[in-house]
């Protein structure tokens, strides 16, 4: 994939027809996009690092332009170089242009710099490349604006791998500094993340690749860097998204991006249940009734086990199906949790794409296609108005080609990864296979933050667990990230009570609470939003490029003395109503339809 398939946002000035055209000098075309400078072909390198940067910006809702042209890139306030800057990467004239760009006020963020011709720009000495470093300690958030989101101990100190399991981990490019300021160090005391004031501009060296710290965790291949499995705040990969976001917000004024939360709320809690035992079907009604009482919805992932084996009876039968119909009547979102709920699901062969219940043999020849297609077939057959598009595997088992099979089976959303395991508290576009170089898919991954299973929640500790969940929810809120709750409906005492206590504590707070499929729909709507930004006589104009306006999508704008008023327009230059609110140094625009 190269430029022809890149997501490219054109930042053309679009003045509203209903306004008198001002003098030319009053018009400012806000170059609001981050530029991703693709140097993969120059370095004869794979496209993977470019995709990793684009993937990161997509998650954050930041508009971006991908280009291979230095002259194009230097027209924008922020350049993220996707790859290793070597002495041979740029021509002499391009090198000089990059130096002038930073010197005159531009911001440059590079993952890796190994070419000594650029050491003076970044204020560094020769990096000591190593895959034997296992931790990064970031400086206090007040040290530099790029660290402003790293305000918790779990964010300032992160793991790159588990020493007990691996003798090596991702590559780090730590070094001694000459003129730069250290923002983060590896355990050997060398600086891995740094910033250098060069003239009027800033040059950041991240010291790690976005492939290593974002894409690899997001496909579950991160050297087991996570410090916890579930029910905790684990931002080990998110911190690099937060650094990227903070650098963007510093470089561009006023900045505009799309919120990761529906309707511009501070955060989101996604409610979900796994229905995978005999009593779970009837009990699900109690959970659906509780949620209806609080005015929220949840997703019920249903195991359609219709056969008997050594583990259990075939509990997906007429009476229990009727309970799930009732759940849907109460507002529940019913989705797939496989046929077998096998602990070996990640080892199943892919199987055939034309698998149906009539030919599927889950006892003797289970397959990934069979689990997804047959469970969807049964739910769509048995639940009125059902369209099964969301999936979660039993025991969170994740086959190598799960996402590829999901796409071919008609699914849109997956919730099989543990957020702690992959160190990510955002939804994101999954890759088709569990390797960083795989192609992008249409599937949205929405990882699980909280889980009651394996004794994590019990009669003795459930009140304390609710307090812990609340703390994690607001930790994620500080990053505009989300939290996903998984409660099994196997009993209706302490588990049901824990959800009730959680909903009571969050009632009336600045949080969107809902089901997983609805959040996935929001994420897809957000992915399709295109807009232009311009400033005219103190008015910030945001012009949508589509006549269809999704009201769940909201804009985030950095406060600026330049902004006297804000106008939101559709593609035909008609005003769109919105509700404006402020949090900290940001303005949130919620669309009203």
Residue pLDDT, tens place only, 323-367: 999 999 999 999 999 999 999 999 999 999 999 999 999 999 999
Residue pLDDT, tens place only, 179-216: 999 999 999 999 999 999 999 999 999 999 999 999 99
- At residue 464, the 3 state secondary structure works out as helix
Residue 228 φ then ψ, to 5°? -140, 160
pLDDT at 4: 35
Q: At residue 1, does pLDDT exceed 90?
A: no
According to DSSP, residue 531 is labeled E
Per CATH, domain 31-255 is 3.40.50.880: yes
Report how far Cα 113 is from the mean position of its chain's Cα atoms: 27
Q: Helix 318-329 crosses helix 368-382 at what angle (to 10 degrees)? A: 70
pLDDT at 546: 79
What percentage of the chain reaches a pLDDT higher than 70?
95
pLDDT at 547: 72
Strand 27-29 with 531-536, pairing: antiparallel
Measured from the Cβ of residue 1, the count of other Cβ atoms closer than 10 Å reads 12
Q: Which CATH class is domain 268-525?
A: alpha beta
**In whole angstroms, what is the distance from residue 521 CA to residue 541 CA?**
27
Cα dihedral across residues 352, 353, 354, 355: positive or negative: positive
Q: At residue 425, does pLDDT exceed 90?
A: yes
Give kind and range of the element (H or E) at residue 96.
helix 92-103
Q: Which of 217, 215, 218, 212 is nearest to 414 (CA)?
A: 218
Mean pLDDT of 385-399: 98
Q: Identify each DSSP E strand in 206-322 by its residue range.
A: 256-258, 267-275, 299-302
Mean pLDDT of 260-268: 98
| CA end-to-end distance (rounded Å), the chain | 37
pLDDT at 455: 86
Q: At residue 24, does pLDDT exceed 50?
A: no
- At residue 483, the 3 state secondary structure works out as strand
Query: pLDDT band at 168, cuts 50/70/90?
Result: very high
Burial class of residue 71 in the structure, from the number of CB atoms within 10 Å of its CB (0-12 exposed, 13-18 middle, 19+ buried): exposed
pLDDT at 163: 96
Query: pLDDT band at 30, cuts 50/70/90?
Result: confident
pLDDT at 28: 53
Contacts of 156 (CB under 8 A, 6+ apart): 137, 138, 139, 140, 141, 150
Structure tokens at 352: 């055939």
**In whole angstroms, what is the distance from residue 159 CA to residue 161 CA?**
6
Burial class of residue 142 in the structure, from the number of CB atoms within 10 Å of its CB (0-12 exposed, 13-18 middle, 19+ buried): exposed
**In whole angstroms, what is the distance from residue 502 CA to residue 496 CA?**
10
Domain range summary for the chain, segments of one domain joined by +:
1-29+528-593, 31-255, 268-525
Q: Which of 254, 268, 213, 259 is nearest to 236 (CA)?
A: 213
Task: Answer whether 37's CB lies under 8 Å from 78's CB.
Answer: no
pTM across the whole model: 0.94
Q: Which of 366, 436, 378 is nearest to 405 (CA)?
A: 366
Mean pLDDT over each residue of the chain, to the nearest integer: 94
Q: Which residues of 257-280 are buried (b: 16+ CB within 10 A; e: fewer)?
A: bbbbbbbbbbbbbbbbbbbbbeeb
Q: At residue 310, does pLDDT exceed 90?
A: no
Ranking 285-299, 510-524, 572-586 by mean pLDDT, the lowest is 572-586
pLDDT at 363: 97
DSSP string, 130-180: ES---EEEEPPGGG-GGGTT--SHHHHEEES--TTT-S--S-EEEB-BSS-
Task: Answer whether 424's CB lies under 8 Å from 217's CB.
Answer: yes
CA distances from 46 to 82, 437, 441 (A): 11, 8, 18
pLDDT at 7: 36
**In whole angstroms, what is the distance from residue 130 CA to residue 561 CA?**
45
Q: Which of 9, 502, 78 is nearest to 255 (CA)?
A: 78
């Amino acid at each position: 994939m190269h430029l022809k398939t890149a997501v490219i946002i054109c930042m053309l000035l679009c003045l509203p027809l209903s306004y008198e055209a001002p003098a030319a000098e009053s018009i400012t075309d806000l170059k609001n996009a981050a530029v991703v400078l693709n140097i993969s072909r120059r370095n004869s390198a794979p496209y993977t690092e470019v995709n990793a940067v684009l993937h990161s910006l997509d998650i954050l809702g930041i508009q971006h332009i991908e280009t291979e042209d230095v002259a194009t890139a230097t027209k924008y306030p922020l350049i993220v170089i996707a790859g290793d800057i070597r002495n041979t990467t740029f021509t002499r004239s391009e090198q000089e242009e990059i130096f002038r760009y930073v010197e005159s006020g531009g911001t440059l963020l590079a993952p890796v710099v190994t070419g000594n011709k650029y050491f003076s720009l970044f204020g560094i000495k020769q990096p000591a490349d190593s895959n034997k470093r296992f931790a990064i300690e970031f400086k206090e958030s007040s040290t530099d604006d790029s660290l402003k989101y790293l305000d918790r101990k779990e964010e300032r100190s992160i793991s790159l791998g588990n020493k007990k399991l691996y003798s090596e981990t991702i590559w780090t490019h730590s070094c001694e500094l000459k003129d730069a300021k250290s923002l983060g160090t590896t355990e050997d005391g060398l600086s891995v993340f740094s910033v250098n004031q060069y003239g009027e501009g800033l040059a950041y060296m991240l010291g790690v690749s976005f492939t290593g710290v974002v894409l690899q965790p997001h496909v579950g291949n991160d050297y087991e860097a996570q410090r916890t499995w579930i029910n905790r705040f684990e931002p080990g990969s998110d911190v690099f998204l937060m650094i990227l976001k903070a650098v963007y917000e510093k470089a561009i004024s006023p900045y505009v991006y799309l919120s990761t939360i529906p309707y511009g709320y501070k955060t989101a809690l996604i409610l979900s249940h796994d229905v995978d035992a005999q009593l779970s079907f009837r009990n699900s009604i109690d959970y659906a009734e509780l949620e209806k009482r609080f005015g929220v919805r949840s997703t019920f992932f249903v195991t359609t086990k219709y056969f008997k084996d050594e583990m259990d009876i075939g509990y997906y039968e007429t009476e229990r199906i009727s309970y799930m119909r009732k759940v849907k009547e109460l507002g529940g979102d019913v989705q797939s949790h496989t046929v077998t709920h096998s602990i070996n699901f990640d080892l199943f062969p892919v199987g055939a794409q034309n698998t149906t219940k009539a030919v599927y043999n889950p006892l003797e020849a289970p397959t990934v296609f069979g689990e997804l297609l047959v469970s969807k077939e049964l739910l769509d057959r048995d639940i009125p108005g059902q369209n099964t598009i969301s999936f979660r595997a039993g025991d969170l088992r994740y086959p190598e080609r799960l996402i590829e099979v999901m796409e071919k089976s008609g699914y849109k959303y997956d919730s099989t990864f543990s957020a702690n395991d992959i160190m990510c508290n955002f939804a994101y576009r999954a890759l088709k296979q569990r390797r960083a170089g795989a192609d992008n898919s249409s599937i949205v991954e929405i990882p699980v933050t909280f889980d009651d299973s394996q004794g994590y929640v019990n009669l003795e500790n459930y009140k304390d667990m609710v307090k812990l969940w609340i703390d994690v929810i607001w930790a994620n809120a500080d990053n505009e990230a989300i939290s996903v709750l998984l409660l099994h409906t196997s009993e209706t005492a302490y588990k049901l009570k824990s959800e009730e206590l959680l909903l009571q504590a969050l009632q009336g707070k600045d949080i969107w609470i809902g089901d997983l499929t609805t959040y996935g729909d929001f994420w897809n709507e957000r992915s399709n939003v295109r807009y232009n930004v311009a400033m005219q006589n103190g008015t910030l104009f945001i012009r949508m490029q589509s006549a269809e306006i999704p009201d769940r999508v909201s804009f985030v704008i950095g406060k600026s003395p330049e902004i006297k008023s804000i106008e939101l327009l559709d593609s035909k230059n008609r005003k769109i109503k919105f509700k404006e609110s402020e949090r900290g140094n940001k303005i949130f625009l919620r669309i009203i339809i």
